[in-house]
Amino acid sequence: MSEILTIKGLSKSYKQVKAIQNLNLEITDGQAYGLLGPNGSGKTTTLSIITGILRQDVGAYTWFGEDPRSAQRRCIGSLIETPHFYPYLNLEKNLKIICDIKGLGYSDIDRVLDSARLLERKRSRFSTMSLGMKQRLGLAAALLGDPRVLVLDEPTNGLDPEGIAEVREVVIDQVKAGKTLILASHILSEVEKICGHVAILKKGELLANGPVKELLSEEEVIEVSCADNQKLKSELGGSSLARELEEENGLLIITLKEGVVPADINSFAFSHQLVIHHMLSRKRSLESQFLELVKEE
C-alpha cells in the first residue's frame, strides 16, 4: 500500500483556542478514512490545512510521500465546507475554471454534472442554486478528472434524504473503485457505512484511530433477562465474567470481559439456579463508541 497522506505532529491555534494538537495520521492508498468529532473538534481545520487553505503552526504533512505542493492538489478532489463558486457564472463556466486550474480538458464536465443530477441546470447561474444543489456541484467539481483521492467535509450537508442517499452512493462507488477517501462527517452511521478506518477527534486531540472493526470489537455487550435480574446482577458482580453491569428497561446489560463469550454467562446463571429466557448480543455501533469516547474525555 503506497502512502497517500501522512500527518506528523500537526498543531494549529486560533489565538487562545487550540484547534488541533499534535495530530498524527497515516492514510494509505485505497483507504476510506472517516474523520469524526463533535463541532469544534478540529476536523475542518485539519482538512483545511491539508488542502492548502490554512497553514499549520507546528508539524508537517506529506501528500504521496512528498512535501505539499499546489500541483499535488490537482490530483485530489476536495469539498471543504460549503462550496464557493463564482455566483455570476453558470455551472458550466464554474467547472471550466476548475478544469483550467487542474489542467484538464472540458470533456469531463457533462459527466460530473450528470452524476450530480445537474446537467439540465448547467447554464444556470450558481447564485440561483439551492444549498443542496451547491453541495452537489461541489461534489461534481471534486470528481472532475477522476482524482486518486477525495477529501470531503460534510458532503451531505444541506441535502434532502434523497440527495443524501445519492451522494452516499456516489461516494461508495468511488471507494469501490479503489479511490482513497478522507471523509469528515457528523453522520456517524454514514461514516460507518462508507469508511473502513476512522479517527475520532475532540478539542483538537486524537482520541482513537484505526479500523472501524477493531474499534467496535474491543468488547462484547449482551442484554439478558431472567426471573431475578437483581440476583443475577449481584452474582455476576462478584464473578470475573463481566466488566460492566447496567439495568435498562427490565434488561440487564452486560459488558463482557475479554475472552468471555455469551455462553459463559448462560452456564454461570444456570449454575446459580437462574434460567435466562432472553439473551441478545448487542452490536456496538460506531455512534455508541464515539459517544462513549467523547464522554470519557
Q: Which residues of this protein are in contact with other proteins, per CB under 8 A?
A: 48, 51-54, 69-71, 73-74, 78, 80, 83-89, 93, 96-98, 100-103, 141
What phi and psi values does residue 21 have, to the nearest 5 degrees? -130, 120
d(CA 170, CA 79): 14
Select 96 or 257, whichever has its Cβ closest to other proteins: 96
User: Residue 200 is inside which H or E element, if any?
Assistant: strand 197-202
Q: Considering the complex, what minimum distance in angstroms separates the CB of residue 225 from other proteins? A: 54
Select 100 or 169, whichever has its Cβ closest to other proteins: 100
Q: Considering the complex, what minimum distance in angstroms separates the CB of residue 179 from other proteins? A: 17
Residue listed under C-alpha cell 463533535? 38
Per the CB < 8 A criterion, the answer to whether 276 and 265 are in contact is: yes
Select 54 or 245, whichever has its Cβ closest to other proteins: 54
What phi and psi values does residue 55 have, to the nearest 5 degrees? -115, 135
**Farthest CA pair distance, the chain:** 77
Q: Considering the complex, what minimum distance in angstroms separates the CB of residue 142 from other proteins? A: 9
Q: Considering the complex, what minimum distance in angstroms separates the CB of residue 249 from other proteins? A: 47
d(CA 52, CA 254): 47
Select 148 or 231, whichever has its Cβ closest to other proteins: 148
Per the CB < 8 A criterion, the answer to whether 4 and 63 are in contact is: yes
Q: Considering the complex, what minimum distance in angstroms separates the CB of residue 44 from other proteins? A: 10
Select 74 or 233, whichever has its Cβ closest to other proteins: 74
